[in-house]
């Protein structure tokens, strides 16, 4: 029994198996590939209910340097009108459940808080 013919040439069984192996390998790599991700050295969570809002953050990686952070959060005021609160803060290694923002007069959150942090270099 002969192998398949491509462009008038017969392929051997080994060639067909090699092509199939390459195709399957490419498909698996494409399916499993994704963006490289590094774990953030901080963790934050916020809630807005019963007229108040609070944003808490923790430094979760003891090997990471102090983090300089900014936040922005869109909340609904008492009349439902949007209000954006924003600010900056620092998180040192070992700090946990730091109240970054606390306010009143908000019915609910219109979106999740956005928190961006960058590690500060140690030394000169």
- Other C-beta atoms closer than 10 Å to the C-beta of 122 total 7
- Reported as a single tens digit per residue, the pLDDT across 53-68 is 999 999 999 889 999 9
Instruction: Tokens for 62, please give them.
Output: 């003891």
Please provide the DSSP assignment of 66-100 as one string: PEEEEEEEEEEETTS-EEEEEEEEEE-TT--SEEE
pTM of the model: 0.64
Instruction: Tokens for 36, please give them.
Output: 């490289």
Per-residue pLDDT of the chain (124 residues; tens, 9 = 90+): 555 565 666 656 555 555 555 555 545 455 555 555 567 889 999 999 888 999 999 999 988 999 999 999 999 987 889 999 999 999 999 999 999 999 999 989 999 999 999 986 665 5
User: For the chain, what are the domain ranges?
Assistant: 1-37, 42-119
Distances in Å between the alpha carbon of 100 and those of 7, 93, 110, 116?
Answer: 68, 16, 18, 13
d(CA 112, CA 122): 31
């Amino acid at each position: 029994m002969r192998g398949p013919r491509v462009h008038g040439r017969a392929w051997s069984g080994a060639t067909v198996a090699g092509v199939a192996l390459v195709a399957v390998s490419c498909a698996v790599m494409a399916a499993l590939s994704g963006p490289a991700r590094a774990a953030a050295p901080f963790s934050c969570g916020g809630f807005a209910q019963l007229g108040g809002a609070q944003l808490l953050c923790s430094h979760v990686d003891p090997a990471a340097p102090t983090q300089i952070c900014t936040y922005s959060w869109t909340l609904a005021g008492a009349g439902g009108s949007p209000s954006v609160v924003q600010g900056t803060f620092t998180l040192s290694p070992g700090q946990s459940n730091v109240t970054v923002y606390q306010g009143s007069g908000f019915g609910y959150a219109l979106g999740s808080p956005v928190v961006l942090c960058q590690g500060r270099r140690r030394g000169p």
